[in-house]
Structure 1
Amino acid sequence: MSAAIDVTEKSINAALTSLETSDDAREAALRTSLNIARMRCVLDPKAVMLETWESWLLAMQVHSAVFAAASTDEEAATCQIRQVERRLVATGPQFHVNAGTWVQAFYLALVCRETARLDMLANIPVSLLRDCGGVMDEYIYAWVETLQSFWLRRDDLSDKLVQAVDLNAPEAARIVDAQTMGKLSYPPIILFYRYLRRDAEGFNTTLADALRWHKECWIADTDRKESVEGVVALGPLAIACLARAVSIPIKIESPYLPQALLDYAWEGEFDA
């Protein structure tokens, strides 16, 4: 894994050199930055090493930056990535600026407790995500709107959450397979409901279910077992970070929930 991290670090460094002007570099940086963060958690399951936290911070910065560049009315968006101010040329809708990537970006900002980037993401028009050129299941847009309504304290939060739950039924799956819908996409939504209700017992029960389903999904076949994508349960981790912020005790310990990320152990160490 160390050798794989070294190779991937070279790839992300190459992507970052062209990030300001290249759409291809931005797409590569999205994928590569998150994979490095996951790889580091293979070697450091509790995320206690400085390099692991830096990798998660980088993934958050890259994911937020592409949306800042896609949504700005200016010629470029100024974004801090690895302690360097970078001017990303504005793009408007792009294939990689889709609702799925937006959800990942929001989750990463929750894990890193980055309120300024959460503010920016919450104000991204859903129409921009729909104009990316890809086709996605409708539930993802309802989930985006739910998270935006929550963060912006809109009155329609309950309606948006009900819509997200209804559209997330396995029988509603068109693009994503029913197993992925039920075991990966659905749990963060129900966890979020438990969080809103401040239901500590229900939250921990649902979190345990979410992690069990996450494991089942990522060991379902050989390709998934070998994929680094399942190393961390990003959605449940993000909602658990929200829960911790309102003093809901997290009683579940799991390598899918790196403890230092959940605890925000590196608070104040970096200017993100």
Structure 2
Amino acid sequence: MSQQVTRHGIPSGPEAEALAQRLADHLTVQIDELEVSTDLIEATFNTSLLVLNARCVLDPRAAQAETWDAVVNAMQLGSAVFAVTGIEEGTVECRIDRKVRTLPASGPSTMADAGLWLQAFWLAVVCREQQRMTELCEIPLERLRSSDGRYDEYVYHWVDTLQTYWLRRPGLVEKLTTTIQTSDPSVATTIPRDMLQGLMYPPINLFYHFVRKNEEGFGPALVEALKLHRAYWTLTEDRATDIDGTVALGPLAIACLAYDGKLPFDVESEYLPKHLLEHGWLGEYPT
């Protein structure tokens, strides 16, 4: 029997639809401006995430083309952040919003850090963009380190683990073990505990069950991850109305890996839009 995890009641209706359209219009302008300057590419990427979440408020199964467009745009912009910061001069061609665009290089930047890398990687997984996943995983870990100490060390171990998994490098078990150990609340003290336990650790635990091909454990771990996601986003009144909590991106991405890997689980939730999980839009147009 399918296990259901209901999404918390993010307001929808005409106001939500108007918000989604305003955000989408703003994103179109921001994307066009990137061909002049990429100084605000991080802000553009953040807007694309808002559009994605706003679309999934209106279309929780991701059954509409506009929602797939939103996912693809976010994925393309996440990759573009690392493309433009990976070179110091010249330009780089990036497909964004159904068009190949020539973007000026920005050189190394603190915005291209491990936190943004995780979001970009999850989006590439959801879109089944294997080449982008490979390109992201080939980025040296030291390039992703933040100089201001904003991340606990486990975040870098987590990125290293994912890169090791995708590129089939040796040492996966050891690196995943280190990630789990260093993400313990007694060790990881920089991030707020509710965020660590509600948003950051659950994908790690879920990945642990995935790489072990634990058929009995993966489904319950996914349910737990979604419940913790919901608990985090309903802890305060402000969070409960924040569209940032619409999609559980990390758990969704790992559920996509499990789905493609034929690891059975029977979990349904609006936090995991059905047509994204089951790659219903794959191949509709170049991404």
Shorter chain as denominator, the TM-score bin is over 0.9
Residue 159 of structure 1 deviates from its aligned partner by 1.6
Please report the TM-score for the alignment, with normalisation by the length of structure 1: 0.96
Structure 2, gaps ≥5 residues long: 1-15
Q: Which moved more, 1:234-243 or 1:245-254?
A: 245-254
Counterpart of 1:159?
174
Q: Does the C-alpha gap of structure 1 residues 74 and 197 become closer, same or farther in structure 2, counting only changes over 3 Å?
A: farther
- Equivalences for residues 63-212 of structure 1 within 5 A: 63-72=78-87, 75-131=90-146, 135-212=150-227
Q: What amino acid is aligned across from residue 145 of structure 2 in structure 1? A: R
Counterpart of 1:13?
28
Aligned 8 A contact 1:146 1:157 in 2 = yes
Could you say what secondary structure the match of 1:172 adopts? coil
Could you say what secondary structure the match of 2:95 adopts? strand
Counterpart of 2:257?
242
Please report the TM-score for the alignment, with normalisation by the length of structure 2: 0.91
Residue 44 of structure 1 deviates from its aligned partner by 0.7
For residues 101 and 30 of structure 1, what CA distance do their matches in structure 2 show? 9
Q: How many residue pairs were aligned?
A: 272
- Equivalences for residues 48-67 of structure 1 within 5 A: 48-67=63-82
For residues 255 and 74 of structure 1, what CA distance do their matches in structure 2 show? 43
Aligned 8 A contact 2:38 2:103 in 1 = no
Counterpart of 2:62?
47
Larger RCO: Structure 1 or Structure 2 (Cα < 8 Å, ≥ 6 residues apart)? 2
Aligned 8 A contact 1:68 1:120 in 2 = no
For residues 83 and 50 of structure 1, what CA distance do their matches in structure 2 show? 13
For residues 69 and 134 of structure 1, what CA distance do their matches in structure 2 show? 23
Q: What amino acid is aligned across from residue 161 of structure 1 in structure 2? A: L
Aligned 8 A contact 1:97 1:132 in 2 = no
Could you say what secondary structure the match of 2:103 adopts? strand
For residues 206 and 92 of structure 1, what CA distance do their matches in structure 2 show? 40
Q: What amino acid is aligned across from residue 99 of structure 1 in structure 2? A: A
For residues 96 and 55 of structure 2, what CA distance do their matches in structure 1 show? 19
Q: Which moved more, 1:158-167 or 1:210-219?
A: 158-167
Q: Percent identity?
A: 43
RMSD of aligned alpha carbons: 1.5
For residues 127 and 21 of structure 1, what CA distance do their matches in structure 2 show? 29
For residues 113 and 219 of structure 1, what CA distance do their matches in structure 2 show? 30
